[in-house]
Amino acid sequence: MTSRHYVPHEQVAFEYKLDAWRFFVRNSSMNFVVDAHQHFWTYGTYQTSWMEVPPYAGDPAFQALRRSFQAADLTPELKVSGVHYTVTIEAAHSPTENETLLANARAHDWIAGVVGWVPLEDPNKVERVLDSRADDAALVGVRHLINIEPDPDWIIRPNVLRGLQVLAARRLTFDYGILPRHLEHVPLIARRVPELRIVIDHLGKPPMPPKNSSLGVHCLRGPPRCRMFSQKYPASTLATLMRGRPQTSRRI
């Protein structure tokens, strides 16, 4: 007996829409504006648990973020700002986050991709989680908040590096959610996993400069093959998607 893999009609329609969008972008002379890093969360749930641990717990600078943010809040902002598409980034280390964000992507045409979460410290679980999402074309990358790990060298543990190799083999990007002290590991990761595409979130969260002064950014020295794409500080800034294959992810 031949087994059949059932794919829901909604998923087929979503993948068709996504393929059509990619073809249009790659063959269009138009430029698109993409918010390459935005979040959804329901405040007080697992999605905002990171606010209650160092270095964020008790920080008054995060008071404005202590509320829920959903697609209905963002839609009018996109129209006012002239933003065409967004990439939604995970906000919590939970497998539930993947389904929540992918459901949003299926419901809203302007979500071009999802950066989810997997347990990188367990490569076998990484394989299983990604296998379970193999039919979700919107999943374009993975993020882990290195900055809330007690061990500052967590990312270069052998088992975590093996987890990153799984991402590279599947051509998924890795969003590196870090603080400035974690930047020193980026060249090592690039050498150990040379095929991995690394996105440095928020330029490593450098200290904000005084008002009316410029923010100096120092380049990292790394292997010649290593390309590092970063977002401007702070979060949810806009990047122009030029003609051709964008660099925010492999699949957009």
- Quote the pLDDT of residue 244: 30
Residue 218 lies in a domain: no
pLDDT digits (tens, 9 = 90+) for 32-77: 788 889 999 999 998 998 888 887 888 888 889 999 999 999 999 9
Residue 25 lies in a domain: yes
Residues 150/183, Cβ–Cβ less than 8 Å: no
List the structure tokens of 71.
Answer: 């697609």
Residue 198 Cα to chain centre, angstroms: 10
The model's pTM is 0.73
The CATH number of whichever domain residue 192 belongs to comes to 3.20.20.140
Residue 197 lies in a domain: yes
pLDDT digits (tens, 9 = 90+) for 175-227: 987 777 888 888 999 999 999 999 887 766 766 666 554 444 444 444 444 44
- Helix (H) or strand (E) segment spanning residue 105: helix 95-107
Residue 73 lies in a domain: yes
Residue 214 lies in a domain: no
Residue 188 lies in a domain: yes
Tell me which residue range forms the domain holding 140: 9-207+223-241
Residue 201 lies in a domain: yes
d(CA 108, CA 106): 6
- Provide the mean pLDDT of the chain: 77
User: How many independent structural domains does the chain possess?
Assistant: 1
Residue 2 lies in a domain: no
- Quote the pLDDT of residue 153: 94
Closest CA to 173 of 114, 220, 216, 128: 114
Q: How far is CA 4 from CA 1, 7, 14, 15, 50, in A?
A: 10, 9, 20, 19, 41
AA identity, residue 191:
R
Q: How far is CA 144 from CA 50, 91, 160, 238, in A?
A: 12, 9, 11, 22
- Quote the pLDDT of residue 149: 87
Residue 100's pLDDT band, with cuts at 50, 70 and 90, is very high
